[in-house]
Structure 1
């Protein structure tokens, strides 16, 4: 290296008549590199110049784009994001994510064009920043891989099979009720998160993976904690382009200890896959033991992970990494997302006691004062409860930002979005448009009564996405949340000293409450509070 620098300095000096020091050569080399990088960025941006002149948006700087707009803690990033939508929306506006050109689309009419078409099916390369966490499962997979895996997984979510999960929903939720007894009648509030998270991870492990661990199974709790931490650390990369290069982030990971977090994150998925492979191998050895099973029993065997292992044995040629990615995607979708929504929903009901009373009265009317398990047909009668769940997801959409890559130009209502750009879809922004939801930061379940829903554009509500890549587990999530909230309120009333203004939000890949979900609980007096009209 020193010889190279001496030669470079001598050569450059002979051309200029001036001999340069090694430090000067290095300095000028860096300058030349940065200038070349800047011109490369300008060349890359030339396709977008026509549109950028027409769109508003936050200021952008060389190389880092609008990254300075997002310097700060996850809470500050969320606050700046909300402010940005208030400042530049609801019309499309531009934002540079490093050297990536992105357009944010908020209006339902534009979202319908984008999400229902075939030109924005591809997830953006930004999701590769989370590859060590979620891999390339159904949520983040390239289009062709998504189409193939979607065909494989979709049958697992049919109503017949989902109805068989209700016994698990009821069982796991009742374990939660027993565990919560220790919090009864305490003056000091407790955080709902750990209780709810342990329940939802145990539920998805049982229903999708066939693993019947206890609600307090340490592997599940460790997975949830590692997932939360890894999302927090990886999400910073979206707004900090200087962390985009993997070699830089790997150094950052070693300094912050994130490598150990990944190891913990992978323990549960690897354990579930290994156990299922052993079970499948044993069944193959002893086929006679399953010859006479009934059709219903056959269906019960076709859980999510069963299906993946079976298809792989039949020639699907899924690698261990691909199976792991789909398992993690299912664990995240079935636990983390429902945990966040259940916690926010109970907190909303604790703040709004009158609404909690209405929900309980409906539960009492449908289920009575006994302890009979909740069945799938009961959920269709819990109409007001579903309105509360939907309103919670409107206020606090679990995935507040979605990123798509445009494979061709798309013409929306007032501009043409260019091929190669990143499309940012924000359920958080759309759900808080005052023209769609008056007083949009208030909790109002009447937003989802049938009459009000009929007045709005169908893409005014994006809690589960929209178009062909809409969440495949929507029905599973809603069923499990119906049972969870109903079971909780049958046994406890929930209370808090918080007001809506006390809730501070933070952002990673998902939306969260900065200071948790503090509540107190009291035994439920199993009588209706009043008759609903």
Structure 2
């Protein structure tokens, strides 16, 4: 009897697999790719692999199968694409706006915010939130960038002129956390002064656990909820969600209080002069946002604040750290960037940076973009195919995951001349990327679901790097190697960015 039950179970499983994935198996013949095990697919590749292994696996597959190939995550059909023409077709297709299933492993933290929400909900949220990134709103955050950059200078000064080699990456991470907390919630966690605070440690650990799930074949299953990692994640999220919830409640009360003051002023025809210019945090704008005539709930606001926090600190840290590495590695580039900073802002390092200064730092922006070509903060992005589509004569079946290889594409000699050479000028003048397919360079994604905060991010990067350049000259220690890359959704240097700094001459510290 039990043999019959086993056979029935196997048959039912096979029929379900065929119903859900049969079309994908038929379509897969259009693509090259590695052989796979039944049911398991190529999932064992990622079992207990480190973030460094993820980068190596992808690079090895690209070397064998080119810029477009398929593989299987269990029975899940996955298409890897690093071809600009195909990528343009994918990122502009209305059936391909949903994120791939990997992003779902962030949902415990981020809920259904802008990063993870789908179709209609994403569209309505995006439309409602876009005004928060208007240049007039962004301008007020320049002071936040500059003030926290000054704190960073003070923290790094212990290493100046000593010949000491230190890892700059964790300091940039703390700076980015301070900036994003203040910009998103209007509060300061003072991460640079208190790196071991409960909140700072919770951000790091929640990000690490959530992202590792994306690549681990076992943790992608329900087995994860039986592991110590899940219990640890719950503890970290309790800290993070609790902090955000308390700030939301406090800011909502403040907003109601100011509204009552304004009503009272109008009724009594009195004026109220607070004597200070009030800065509006991202949270304040969300508290006043309405979708279909209804205000956002506290949970919906928390989802968006947490999303902004998650997306805005690790990515900036990666970009700034790798840019500093390249400035240290290429002294001529560093000198040219420094000369531009002095020409635009002046030689007083204490002078406050203004938005107009940032807009005029064109060579520094080219340097950042060239860094993002070689070291994109988000090396892979994903989409999920809801309905079967055909792009450039190739069929992508419904339910397929699509992985877009930004890191691979930026180093492909088919798309960039001398791709491993660091040439900031390729982003300006006669070598400008405007002369060819812009989908070759998409560090902030592209199409309707591109990064809503990219102008905020570029301004923050230019602000902190220009501040550091006014105070310090960067160099690499002798015999330093190219950073070993690790991908945990965000591209990171596996052993950090070893750096030495020397004070600029005639600069008062």
Q: By how many angstroms is 1:306 displaced?
A: 0.8
Q: Give deviations 1:235-278, integer Å, cap 9, x for gaps.
A: 333333433333x1111245773332333333442343233123
Change (3 A) 1:517 1:267: farther
Q: Give deviations 1:375-400, integer Å, cap 9, x for gaps.
A: 11112321111111111111111111
Partner of 1:448: 427
Q: Give deviations 1:281-310, integer Å, cap 9, x for gaps.
A: 33244334775579x999x55432112222
Partner of 1:170: 146
**Aligned-partner Cα distance in 2 for 1:491–1:342:** 16
* 2:397 paired residue among 406, 418, 433: 418
User: Which region of structure 1 is more displaced relative to structure 2, 42-51 or 99-108?
Assistant: 42-51
Partner of 1:80: 57
Q: Is 1:478 aligned with 2:454? A: no
Change (3 A) 1:192 1:85: same
**Aligned-partner Cα distance in 2 for 1:219–1:524:** 27
* 1:459 paired residue among 439, 443, 454: 439
Change (3 A) 1:58 1:168: same
**Aligned-partner Cα distance in 1 for 2:480–2:88:** 31
Q: By how many angstroms is 1:30 displaced?
A: 6.4
Q: By how many angstroms is 1:217 displaced?
A: 6.0
Give yes or no for contact 1:493–1:524 (8 Å, CA) kept in 2. yes
Partner of 1:408: 387
Change (3 A) 1:153 1:74: same
Q: Is 1:339 aligned with 2:317? A: yes
* 1:469 paired residue among 417, 434, 449: 449
**Aligned-partner Cα distance in 1 for 2:264–2:364:** 44
Q: CA RMSD in A?
A: 2.8
Partner of 1:366: 344
For residue 30 of structure 2, give the secondary structure of its aligned residue in structure 1: coil
Q: By how many angstroms is 1:323 displaced?
A: 1.6
Partner of 1:487: 467
Partner of 1:319: 297
Q: By how many angstroms is 1:412 displaced?
A: 2.0
Q: By how many angstroms is 1:410 displaced?
A: 2.6
Give yes or no for contact 2:186–2:280 (8 Å, CA) kept in 1. no
Q: Is 1:40 aligned with 2:16? A: yes
Partner of 1:144: 120
**Aligned-partner Cα distance in 2 for 1:500–1:32:** 61
Q: Which has the larger radius of gyration?
A: 1
Once the two structures are superposed, the pairs formed by residues 120-199 of structure 1 within 5 Å of their partners are 120-199=96-175
Give yes or no for contact 2:124–2:291 (8 Å, CA) kept in 1. no
Q: Which runs of 5+ in 1 are unaligned?
A: 1-11, 13-24, 528-533
Compute the TM-score of the two structures, normalised by the length of structure 1: 0.86
Q: Is 1:431 aligned with 2:407? A: no
Q: Is 1:383 aligned with 2:359? A: no
Q: Is 1:523 aligned with 2:503? A: yes
**Aligned-partner Cα distance in 2 for 1:222–1:444:** 41
Give yes or no for contact 1:433–1:440 (8 Å, CA) kept in 2. yes
For residue 522 of structure 1, give the secondary structure of its aligned residue in structure 2: strand
For residue 289 of structure 2, give the secondary structure of its aligned residue in structure 1: helix
Q: By how many angstroms is 1:42 displaced?
A: 2.9
**Aligned-partner Cα distance in 2 for 1:148–1:293:** 36
Change (3 A) 1:290 1:118: farther
**Aligned-partner Cα distance in 2 for 1:312–1:123:** 25
Once the two structures are superposed, the pairs formed by residues 93-108 of structure 1 within 5 Å of their partners are 93-108=69-84
Change (3 A) 1:362 1:138: same
Q: Give deviations 1:377-431, integer Å, cap 9, x for gaps.
A: 1123211111111111111111111111122333222412223322211211221
**Aligned-partner Cα distance in 1 for 2:356–2:6:** 68
Change (3 A) 1:264 1:447: farther
Aligned residues between the structures: 499
Give yes or no for contact 1:198–1:220 (8 Å, CA) kept in 2. no
For residue 118 of structure 1, give the secondary structure of its aligned residue in structure 2: coil
Give yes or no for contact 2:128–2:290 (8 Å, CA) kept in 1. no
Give yes or no for contact 2:314–2:490 (8 Å, CA) kept in 1. no
Compute the TM-score of the two structures, normalised by the length of structure 2: 0.90
Change (3 A) 1:406 1:307: same
Q: By how many angstroms is 1:489 displaced?
A: 0.5
**Aligned-partner Cα distance in 2 for 1:255–1:107:** 37
Partner of 1:226: 202
Partner of 2:335: 357
Change (3 A) 1:213 1:48: closer
Change (3 A) 1:490 1:125: same
For residue 185 of structure 1, give the secondary structure of its aligned residue in structure 2: coil
Q: Is 1:507 aligned with 2:476? A: no
Give yes or no for contact 1:156–1:303 (8 Å, CA) kept in 2. no
Give yes or no for contact 1:345–1:392 (8 Å, CA) kept in 2. yes
Q: By how many angstroms is 1:34 displaced?
A: 5.1
Q: By how many angstroms is 1:477 displaced?
A: 0.6
**Aligned-partner Cα distance in 2 for 1:161–1:53:** 50
Q: Which runs of 5+ in 2 are unaligned?
A: none
Change (3 A) 1:157 1:105: same
Once the two structures are superposed, the pairs formed by residues 199-348 of structure 1 within 5 Å of their partners are 199-216=175-192, 218=194, 222-246=198-222, 248-254=223-229, 257-288=232-263, 292=271, 302-311=280-289, 316-348=294-326
For residue 444 of structure 2, give the secondary structure of its aligned residue in structure 1: coil
